[in-house]
Structure formats: C-alpha cells, structure tokens
Structure 1
Amino acid sequence: MTVSFSQINMLKSQKIYATFVNGKVITKQFYDIYQQSFIENTLYTELFNNLDHFTQLYQHIGYYLNFNVEGEFFYISRSEVEEDADTNATKIQAILLIIARYWVDKGFDLDDLATPVIGLNRSALDDIADQAIYNDIRKALGIETWDKAMTYLMDRNFLYLCGDKHYILSSAGMYFLNRHVEKYSEESL
C-alpha cells in the first residue's frame, strides 16, 4: 500500500531526516531523565508505521533506510556495505567495546549497562580513564577526553544520560555490544 506525502506527518518527517543526517540512530524508546523512565519514541513509530514510504523516500535521495529489528532502531547509510568502513561506526564500536571490556572485567552483567538504576556511573568512568590502554585507544580515535567519548555516544543515541555522569546504553548500543560479544564467542570456539 502506497502512502501519499499528505498522509505523513511533515514535522516528524523533517525531525527524522534531521536526526539521521546528524549521524544519529532512531531507537524505539529513549530515556527521559526527568521522568526517569524509558519513553516511546514517536519518530520510531512514524518510521515503523510508514516503512514503505520512508524506504522509498530515502532511496530517492540516495540513502538506504536500515531497520534493525533486534536492536529496535533505524539508521541510514549511503550503501549497504558502508557501515563497516564508516569512521563514526568505528569510533562508536571502539568506545562501546572499551565499556564492555571494563564491565566484564569487573564481573558485571552486560545487560546492567541498559538498566537505569545500575548503568555506567562516574566511578566506572574514572576507572576507565585510569587505564592507559583505554586512553591510548581513545586518543587513537581522535577523542580528547572520556567525557567527550560519552557525549559522542549520546549525540548519536547509543547512550542516554540518567544523572550526573550516569549513563545507560540504548537498545542500539546494546545491540552493537551483543553483536560483538557473539562474534568474539564464535571466533574463540
């Protein structure tokens, strides 16, 4: 079924486009710091309910609209293979892997990184910042400080702020972490 442009919410469509061209993903839910809970993302709902329309729209302007069912998020790319070579994707994945490595080394469950009452707190960030190997990787990525690394993830909706230097991973962040854990597990067999 083809949806006409007049049936699409123009303001939401414009916000979706602005979100994508700023390098962000659109997750099904986002964390609202004021309500201290996850809230349904109306941009995700608009995309999901009008998937054919938005898929065609982005094809017409030279993008692929990608829907990650498992991680419950949307993103755009210039080509189907672009995400592997993308500098932003490399930075995102490297920062997430550092967080995961730190978390697992401490004996914590990775799922706790998406739990608001647990998440990544100030002392964990201080511990990460104290590790020379993690700082070398951060510097190699061209990111000046760990605060800027967290902002980098937040600006792309892979991480949400829950309080003063207290963060949780979005569904997209958790998807990438779990994907890399699965790859590592398969390679180590």
Structure 2
Amino acid sequence: MESEVIYSFEEIPYTKSAEIYRLFSQGRVLNKQRYDDVHGCLVDDDLFTLVFNKIRHFSLFFKHMGYDLKFDEEGDFYFTQDLRDANNDESDDNAMKIQSILLFIGRYYSTVGDLAQLQDPMFGLKESDIDALKQDDLLTSSLKALRVDNWDKALEYLTTRSLIFKVSQDKYVLSKAAMTFLNRLIEAHSAFINIQD
C-alpha cells in the first residue's frame, strides 16, 4: 500500500509564504505582536504564528534562498541573516543605523520617563518627544553622520523594519524587538563603563 506524501509547501498558503518572504527581503523583523490600528492595541501576528508552527518548513525554505532564519527568544521575533557573509558591509551599516537611532531615542527618553513606556501604546514616543529630538543639534548631526537626513527619516527607517509602530499621526511605540535591542545596548554600554572604572 502506497502512502501519500504531504509536502510542506502544500500545507502553507502561497500568499502567506510570499508575504513572509517579502517582509524579510525588505530587512524587516517578524514580531510576535503587531499594532492593530482598528482596536488600538498590540495583537498576535498571524504570520509569526505560522512561522512558529511551521518552523522546519520556513527554516529550510530560507536556507534554500541563502538565508538563515533566526529566532530571538528574549524579543519574540524572527529575522534572517545572509548565509554568504554574516559580516557584509550592508548588514553592518543597517545594524549601526538601527542601534544608533534606538540609542538616541533611549538617551532622550530616559530623561523624561521610564524606558518601558516606549513599548506601551498609552505612552510611547509622542509628538512632543519627537519635537525635542529634532531640537537636539548633537543628535541631528549624529543622524546625518549615519546618512539619515532627519528624525522623520529615522522613524520611517525603524517603522519599515517593524521595529517601531506608528500608532497615530504623531505617536510611535517600540516593538518588543526594538526594546530588546535597546536594553541589550544599554547593558553593553553599562558593562563597557564598568570595565573602564
């Protein structure tokens, strides 16, 4: 008796697979939660759930495409890394921009509130915070050194990578992935300062 073989590609809707591929090819992360504009809160992302439930399929799929699919357990997000060269300049440039922008936001916000509020849709980064960032000449010139024209472009850069969510016209919240990155940067900076002492 011949058993029927079920291929994982037949189990997963191609539209969802294509959406996941596009997301990663645009340099985005796939968060466990996304911001739902209709309900005004964070909700579980169905694409994340699909990848989580079919991890073997997606790991092999991306490996065949030349990428390593990675999961950050602390931040509850997936990302891909190019298998050819984990140290390529474009990745380093993107990482430097992301880390710097997050550090700039964290540096400012630590003076006006609790950093955890950056992830809370009730608080987040408000218009007054964005205006204050724009007024800081040192941060603005630092953005330009990163080849980011201004704070609007910096926020757009993080938004297109699913690191922050735009929750209203002039309000943003950081994703759990962004908060994880920010906390790691702060810990690394603290460890560096402690070594210097």
Number of corresponding residues:
187
Matched residue, 1:110: 115
The partner residue of 2:163 within 143, 158, 162 is 158
1:92-115: CA deviation from partner (whole Å, max 9, x where unpaired): 111110000001133x21110000
Where does the alignment leave 5 or more consecutive residues of structure 1 unmatched? Answer: none
The partner residue of 1:168 within 173, 183, 197 is 173
User: Contact 1:3/1:50 (CA < 8 Å) preserved in 2?
Assistant: no
1:54-77: CA deviation from partner (whole Å, max 9, x where unpaired): 111111111110111110111111
Matched residue, 1:147: 152
The partner residue of 2:105 within 99, 104, 111 is 99
> What amino acid sits opposite 2:138 in the alignment?
I
Matched residue, 1:29: 33
Task: Find the residue that maps to 2:149 and give its secondary structure.
Answer: coil
Q: CA deviation at 1:3?
A: 5.8
The partner residue of 1:10 within 8, 11, 14 is 14
User: Contact 1:122/1:166 (CA < 8 Å) preserved in 2?
Assistant: yes
Q: CA deviation at 1:39?
A: 1.4
Q: CA deviation at 1:7?
A: 1.3
More displaced, 28-37 or 12-21? 28-37
Task: Find the residue that maps to 2:66 and give its secondary structure.
Answer: coil
Where does the alignment leave 5 or more consecutive residues of structure 2 unmatched? Answer: 1-5
TM-score (norm 2): 0.89
CA distance in 1, matches of 2:87, 2:43: 30
> What amino acid sits opposite 1:129 in the alignment?
K
User: Contact 1:83/1:89 (CA < 8 Å) preserved in 2?
Assistant: no
CA distance in 2, matches of 1:83, 1:72: 25
Alpha carbons of structure 1 residues 83 and 119: separation in structure 2 relative to 1, 3 Å: farther
CA distance in 2, matches of 1:7, 1:82: 35
| Identical-pair percentage | 37
